[in-house]
């Protein structure tokens, strides 16, 4: 705290610095304008840096009491034991099929371990997250889902680890059920899914749980994935495999995700409505500064959001400075998690740029001595209809906004927009995984994988592919090796990187990426979000592949993570410790 001004500055690796500032003000009893939170480059978040942890509050309170800076640092083991956790959903579900193998209904019962208390790191009235998406990509009329929470002596739960509020759990359930149903009726898993997919002409689609899917083309994504991986070829190899050798398994997941919360009428976090914001100023020289309420954790916001402005106004992306994470220098926003940056913050960016473009039109009319209705816009300039040689660039207009604006017009070229989405967005995709399972020791290896994602309009394909590749790796880790549990004495198993394994380049499979593009009809630029799609869709695909390899041996389910001793036990009919 500055003893003269009374300003408190908190350096915090926060995914939601503005929300954290408000909550600090409420807890500490300080005027909110006297609190400044700076969230620097934080090296990943994945939802775990949305909650306010006790260490944050204690360090702040201690600094206020002793009048000196206080730094709180936890060890790796302390972090793994005490950080709010995701998953730990115990799920049972079933599907009803008619005589033509169409899904008619779904039933699911969920028991959620909430830890010692709820972390409140997701929309306030959705304690089970957005589990409503559990009907997935399929067209049927009825679903009955119950969710119960249990408080235990674990760390606070309720954190959506790299998914849009428990969407990974929901997707995992429906994709395991779909795969199991296909096997039980003797139907190819891709054909069973295609038979039951929502058709693209049915969108917008009202799901049985009340979500309105914005757009989709599930058959297109499935067809591309099958073509890219040579699905029929792998099925033929599986059919002709050596029964005493490694067993081939082929797993599919055709997921639908829900991201981009708000709308604020339904979604808030501890009472704070889930809109987001963008403030844009164009300087007299035509350079720009963009300030955002969201907060990057390595997603490339500085590139992506600058590109949105560049596309809307024609200012070079390199001439746009992007600022996030400083509550004194950015507009109020709810932050980055649940893949909401582009669906909400990106939309705010596009909208504020369009506001400035409308003012720029008035300035251009003044400079060109023409009516606004007689002007045509192409990226970077306004010209007079029928006289393309008569034009002014956005840089000319920016300079005039400060030096030659018409009488009665407010000077400057800047604005702010708070975007409250009318609906969430629904990215989707099909992932197909081929594995080989060693019968001798239960180990399994991914030998081929294709991931086809549809996240609407892609702003920067390279960044999107990076997000997907990282997510596929995390999904592999969750399916194959990562597990935090406790022994009989209450000791945490998974409190270090010897027990809680992180995949390296050696273990990580190679991925082949494909794309389809189905724009969101309500988003200003048609984008849907992609940061968590791969961690939502891929775990079920990996597990489905292993179970598919073992189906002929009578194995119908193995709980995730699919550890080698679990596979060996399932193959040999031996009960093993989890």
DSSP 131-196: GGGGGTTB--SEEEEEEEEEE-SSS-B---TTSSSSHHHHHHHHHHHHHHHHHHHT--HHHHHHHH
Structural contact between residues 277 and 332, judged by C-beta atoms closer than 8 angstroms: yes
**Could you tell me which of 321, 348, 322 has the C-alpha nearest to residue 334?**
348
Rounded Cα distance between 36 and 375, Å, is 44
Q: Residue 107, CB half-sphere, CA atoms under 13 Å: how many?
A: 3
Residue 32 DSSP SS3: helix
**Could you tell me which of 185, 173, 139, 229 has the C-alpha nearest to residue 430?**
229
Structural contact between residues 14 and 85, judged by C-beta atoms closer than 8 angstroms: no
Burial of 177 (0-12, 13-18, 19+ CB in 10 A): buried
Residue 327 DSSP SS3: coil
Assess whether the previous peptide bond of 206 is cis (omega < 30° from 0). Answer: no
Rounded Cα distance between 334 and 316, Å, is 28
Rounded Cα distance between 418 and 273, Å, is 11
Catalytic residues: 15, 162-163, 532
Beta strands 512-515 and 444-454 are: parallel
Tokens, residue 503: 């995949």
Beta strands 8-11 and 35-38 are: parallel
Any idea what the Cα angle at residue 307 is, between residues 305 and 313, rounded to 5°? 105
DSSP 196-261: HBPPGGG-SEE-TTS-EE----HHHHHHHHHHHHTHHHHHHHHHT--TTSPEEEEEEEEEE--B--
Rounded Cα distance between 7 and 481, Å, is 46
Tokens, residue 390: 């008569």
Rounded Cα distance between 74 and 84, Å, is 14
- The residues pairing with 323 across neighbouring beta strands, listed in sequence order, are 291
Neighbours of 345 (CB within 10 A): 30
């Amino acid at each position: 705290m500055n003893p003269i001004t009374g300003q408190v500055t908190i350096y915090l690796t926060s995914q939601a610095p503005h929300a954290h500032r408000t909550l600090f003000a409420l807890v500490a009893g300080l005027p909110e304008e006297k609190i400044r939170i700076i969230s620097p480059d934080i090296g990943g978040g994945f939802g775990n840096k949305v909650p306010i942890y006790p260490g944050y509050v204690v360090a702040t309170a201690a600094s206020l009491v002793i009048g000196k800076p206080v730094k709180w640092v936890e060890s790796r083991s302390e972090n793994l034991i005490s950080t709010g956790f995701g998953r730990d959903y115990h799920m049972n579900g079933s599907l009803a099929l008619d005589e033509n193998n169409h899904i008619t209904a779904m039933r699911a019962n969920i028991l959620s371990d909430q830890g010692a208390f709820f972390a409140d790191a997701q929309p306030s009235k959705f304690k089970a997250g957005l589990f409503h998406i559990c009907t997935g990509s399929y067209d049927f009329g009825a679903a009955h889902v119950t969710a119960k929470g249990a408080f235990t002596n674990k760390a606070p739960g309720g954190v959506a680890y790299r998914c849009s509020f428990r969407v990974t759990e929901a997707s995992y359930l429906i994709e395991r059920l779909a795969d199991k149903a296909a096997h039980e009726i003797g139907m190819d898993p891709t054909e069973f899914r295609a038979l039951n997919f929502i058709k693209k002409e049915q969108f917008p689609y009202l799901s049985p749980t009340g979500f309105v899917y914005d757009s989709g083309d599930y058959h297109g994504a499935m067809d591309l994935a099958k073509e890219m991986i040579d699905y029929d070829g792998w099925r033929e190899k599986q059919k002709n495999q050596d029964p005493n050798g490694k067993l081939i398994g082929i797993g599919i997941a055709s997921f639908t995700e829900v991201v981009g919360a708000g709308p604020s009428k339904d979604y808030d976090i501890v009472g704070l409505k889930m809109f987001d914001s963008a403030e844009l100023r164009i300087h007299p020289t035509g350079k720009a500064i963009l300030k955002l309420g969201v907060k990057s954790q390595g997603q490339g916001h500085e590139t992506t959001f600058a590109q949105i402005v560049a596309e809307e106004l024609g200012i070079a992306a390199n001439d746009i400075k992007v600022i996030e994470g400083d509550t004194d220098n950015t507009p109020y926003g709810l932050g980055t998690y649940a893949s909401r940056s582009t669906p909400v913050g990106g939309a705010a960016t596009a909208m504020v740029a369009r506001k400035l473009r409308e003012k720029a039109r008035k300035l251009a009319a003044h400079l060109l001595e023409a009516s606004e209705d007689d002007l045509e816009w192409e990226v970077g300039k306004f010209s007079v209809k029928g006289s393309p040689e008569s034009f002014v660039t956005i840089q000319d207009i920016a300079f005039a906004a400060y030096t030659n604006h018409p009488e009665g017009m407010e000077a400057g070229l800047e604005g702010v927009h708070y975007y409250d989405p009318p609906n969430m967005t629904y990215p989707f995709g099909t992932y197909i995984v081929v594995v080989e399972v060693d019968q001798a020791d239960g180990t399994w290896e991914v030998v081929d994988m294709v991931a086809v994602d549809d996240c609407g309009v892609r702003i920067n394909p390279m960044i999107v592919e990076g997000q997907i590749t990282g997510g596929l790796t995390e999904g592999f880790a969750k399916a194959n090796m990562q597990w935090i549990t406790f022994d009989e004495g209450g000791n945490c198993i998974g409190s270090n990187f010897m027990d809680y394994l992180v995949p390296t380049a050696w273990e990580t499979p190679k991925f082949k990426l494909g794309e389809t593009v189905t724009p969101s009809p309500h988003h200003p630029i048609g984008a849907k979000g992609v940061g968590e799609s791969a961690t939502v869709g891929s775990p079920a695909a990996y597990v489905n592949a292993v179970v598919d390899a073992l189906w002929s041996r009578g194995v119908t389910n193995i709980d995730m993570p699919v550890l080698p001793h679990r596979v060996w036990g399932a193959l040999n009919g031996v009960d093993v410790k989890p």
